[in-house]
Amino acid sequence: MEIIAEEDVIGADEWHSVVAQSREAASQQIAIKAEEFLARGGVINIIQNGVTSNRWINSFNGTVLTTNKADRFSAAQVKTYTRKRSEKKIQETAASDKPLVEALSALLDDAPNTTYITEQLKRSHDLVQRLLTDYFADDPRADKFRRKERDVLNQENELALVEKIRDALSAGLVGVWSIAKHLHSSHHSITAVNKKYKLNIPRATTGRKVEVQS
């Protein structure tokens, strides 16, 4: 096995010329490469069989030739490198977001719901929510498409149903069943909202006529 330095990388077209070497010649070549590797500041660690390392390594018969140079950088250098990588990632994300943000902005005025937006953008619901948070945090058009906590959403749905029930009562409808059918809602939902908000939905008469036989 030989230690591969940057200048020793073999091109794809050069493999056709690789020939087998004797074990002695290979050992001599390894020794030479090891000396060169150490001279450049490399570190060779011996790791016992069965022990793994999280570094990228070359190994042969338990001998580990370490090529990871991270330990040779200071904490400040690592922090700077991490910050630059993060900034690069942010820039890449912003670039890929740009066409989606433009398309989303055009949809906010007329889209009926979030599902429609995800279908138009051909993106996931989670991604649409991130775009709404990152780019439309102060845009009131986006409010109705934002993900909300279940309790808040349930309360909003209840209040909307309350208004519809009151409109139905004003139109002269009576009875839970009649209003549920009119609003395309369930009997359970109308009953629960009626009780919680004290809407006092009047009971409907059966309207059934009783025939009296003489």
Mean residue pLDDT of the chain comes to: 77
The mean pLDDT value for 79-94 works out to 81
* pLDDT, mean of residues 48-57: 55
| Chain-centroid distance, C-alpha 46 | 41
pTM for this predicted structure = 0.39
pLDDT of residue 19: 52
Other beta carbons within 10 Å of 136: 18
Residue 53 sits at the vertex; the CA angle it makes with 50 and 56, to the nearest 5 degrees, is 125
Of residues 167, 165, 174, 183, the one with CA closest to residue 202: 174
User: Which pLDDT value is given to residue 50?
Assistant: 60
Distance of CA 80 to the CA centre of its chain: 27
Written as six digits, the tokens of 202 are: 């009047």
Stretch (H or E) spanning 157: helix 150-170
The predicted pLDDT at position 94 comes to: 86
Q: For residue 109, is pLDDT > 90? A: yes
pLDDT tens-digit map of 148-164: 766 777 888 899 999 99
User: How many whole angstroms separate alpha carbon 142 and alpha carbon 124?
Assistant: 17
Q: In the structure, what pLDDT confidence band is assigned to residue 29 with cuts at 50, 70 and 90? A: confident
How far apart (Å, rounded) are the C-alpha atoms in residues 20 and 40? 28
Looking at residues 110-117, what average pLDDT do you find? 92
Helix, strand, or coil (residue 33): helix
pLDDT at 204: 82
pLDDT(183) > 90: yes
Distances (CA, A) of 191 to 23, 149, 196: 88, 24, 9
